[in-house]
Amino acid sequence: MRYLLDTHVLLWLYGKYSILPNHVLNIIKDPKNELLISSVSVWEIAIKKGLQKLDINITIDELYDLIEDSSIKIINIEKTHLKIYADLIFYHRDPFDRMLVAISNAENITIITHDKKIHQYDVNWLW
């Protein structure tokens, strides 16, 4: 199966590993599953790190290396994602999370997230 990791899942995966529940860790560790991270999540991390709203001791280059080393694929924003994004109801005001919802819908990917606002959308989610 294909799974899109929410930004906080990626951060917890590399920092606060113990926060992730076992069923999520089992999915992440299963080599049969395809794990994806959106380029918008890396962008979000870069912005929040630059604004000092995110305390991580990693450069963006190092983050990309970690992602590549873990076999997580990066999915870029496409026109189809933006078309869905433009029509989303504003359950969630966070533009990064709204883009993850749009990507998930366009690509028929399950989002792994603990964000309850994302759960309000008609989107496949897990956690």
Q: Kindly report the pTM of this predicted structure.
A: 0.93
Q: Are 96 and 118 in contact (CB under 8 A)?
A: no
Quote the percentage of the chain above a pLDDT of 70.
98
Give the C-alpha distances (Å, rounded to integers) separating 98 from 15, 34, 64, 118, 125: 24, 21, 22, 8, 13
CATH code, domain with 71: 3.40.50.1010
pLDDT (tens, 9 = 90+) of the chain, 127 residues, equals 999 999 999 998 887 656 899 999 999 999 999 999 999 999 999 999 999 998 888 899 999 999 999 889 999 999 999 999 999 999 999 999 999 999 999 999 999 999 999 999 999 999 9
Rounded to whole angstroms, the Cα distance separating 93 from 86 reads 13
For the chain, the C-alpha Rg in angstroms (whole number) is: 14
3-16 pLDDT, tens digit each: 999 999 999 888 76
**Domain of 76, in residue numbers:** 2-126
Number of domains in the chain: 1
- Which pLDDT value is given to residue 105? 97
